[in-house]
Amino acid sequence: MALGALMTGTGRLTTHVLDTANGHPARGMTIDFYRVDGEEAIFETSVITNDDGRCDGPLLQGEQLAAGAYRLCFHVGDYFSRINGMPVTFLDVVAVDFRVSDPAAHYHVPLLVSPFGYSTYRGS
């Protein structure tokens, strides 16, 4: 890949959430998105997942996506409290810290979650 592509930021950042306890996408989950600069997390936006457990569009794309550190905070406790009618039992907010090294690439950060555990990975 050419250095120019790395510098221009033609990629995108997406996420989605799957509710593995109930076997469906996590509809209506709040996700807070931050840029991280050293010890400081700078709030960018808050989104709510759609019926497919996804955001309606990329969190960042094109020139907005720069190399650096980011954080996604998934409000899983509120989600499970709402759909299961019970208070937060274990997980509350799942924070996923990650780095973007190639702004021309697609960074997809899925979350597979239950009230008691989660998994994430760099998807495609």
Task: Select from 49, 97, 104 the least CA-distant residue to 75.
Answer: 49
* CATH class of the domain defined by 3-120: mainly beta
Q: Give the rounded distance of the alpha carbon of 23 from its chain centre.
A: 19
pTM of the model: 0.90
List the domain boundaries for the chain.
3-120
pLDDT value of position 118: 98
CA 60/CA 41 separation, integer angstroms: 16
CB-based burial label for 46 (10 Å; 0-12, 13-18, 19+):
exposed
pLDDT value of position 4: 43
Would you say residue 3 has pLDDT above 70? no
pLDDT value of position 10: 80
What band does 9 get if pLDDT is binned at 50, 70 and 90? low
pLDDT value of position 5: 42
CB-based burial label for 85 (10 Å; 0-12, 13-18, 19+):
exposed
CB distance 60 to 45 below 8 Å: no
